[in-house]
Amino acid sequence: MEVPRTVTAALEDRPVPGARCLEAGAGVGNTTAGLLDAGASAVYAVTNDREHAATTRERVSADGRRETDVADRLAAVEADLRAIPLSDASVDLITAHGLCNVLDPAALSAVADEFRRVAAPGCHLVVDDYDPLPEDAGVRELFAMENAASEMASGGPALTFYPASFLRRFFAGDGWQFDRERTLLEPVPWTTSHLSAHAQEVTSFAAECADDVGRSLTTRADQLATEIGTESAGRMYSLAFRLPE
């Protein structure tokens, strides 16, 4: 299992060996792979996207070296993090790697309530995310198109970039003791494939908007993705917290 450097850097000072972990927002399985590789005793990888749950399962079981071992330690579950299908006080480590930026404030608040409920005393929490982009970053406009299309389609933003200082205060206010902050990427390399994936999201949301509005958002997003190509901007950070024993 290839584990990205951002994941290994976020986990290297955390007590992963033997821990029961919740990987909140499994995505393509990067952090799931990192936790399993680092010796977690169990990983509950939760996502509300069926394809992501399947990709996460396939990705780790494609590792021939440890197929049986991994299958025993992984449960990739399709569920909403606002109602996590785990019992109270049942996990020792929670990871949220690239999750918060896809949660609006109401969802973030509901998910944080669930983190507190499933966390055992002494549980660790790792929150990795992106600071808001600098005003002169081209990708900022592309993300604005995505949010505009999402607001029109579903009444909420697709992306919210929370400053590290905001999430630090937010989780500390919920009883998590702040442990450390580190920079994972600075600047963040936004690649052609990232940008075309975001332009594609605009197209999907735009399909649910009025024709003329949807068309102009799609056109502008495609134009921006082409014009920008690749860009290095912003910062990805890692915050670590712990609950009192």
Ligand X SMILES: C[S@@+](CC[C@H](N)C(=O)[O-])C[C@H]1O[C@@H](n2cnc3c(N)ncnc32)[C@H](O)[C@@H]1O
Cβ burial, residue 197 (10 Å; 0-12/13-18/19+) = exposed
Cα-Cα end-to-end distance for the chain: 33
Q: Kindly tell me which residue out of 19, 21, 31, 127 binds ligand X, with binding defined by CB under 6 A.
A: 31
Residue 175 CB contacts under 8 Å (≥ 6 apart), including other chains: 116, 243, 244
Q: Kindly tell me which residue out of 49, 69, 72, 227 binds ligand X, with binding defined by CB under 6 A.
A: 49
Residue 12 CB contacts under 8 Å (≥ 6 apart), including other chains: none
State phi, psi for 89 to the nearest 5 degrees.
50, 45
Site map (CB under 6 A) of ligand X, residues 89-128, x = contact: --------xxx--xx---x---------------------
Residue number with the shortest CB distance to ligand X? 27
29 forms part of the interface with ligand X (CB under 6 A):
yes
6 forms part of the interface with ligand X (CB under 6 A):
no
CA dihedral sign of residues 48, 36, 235, 94: positive
In whole angstroms, the minimum distance from the beta carbon of 245 to ligand X comes to: 27
The site for ligand X, by CB under 6 A, has a size of 21
Site map (CB under 6 A) of ligand X, residues 195-214, x = contact: --------------------
User: Quick one: which segment of 12-20, 80-88, 152-160, 179-187 binds ligand X (CB under 6 A)?
Assistant: 80-88
As a whole number of angstroms, the distance between CA 18 and CA 25 comes to: 21
Binding site for ligand X (CB under 6 A): 25-31, 46-49, 52, 80-82, 97-99, 102-103, 107
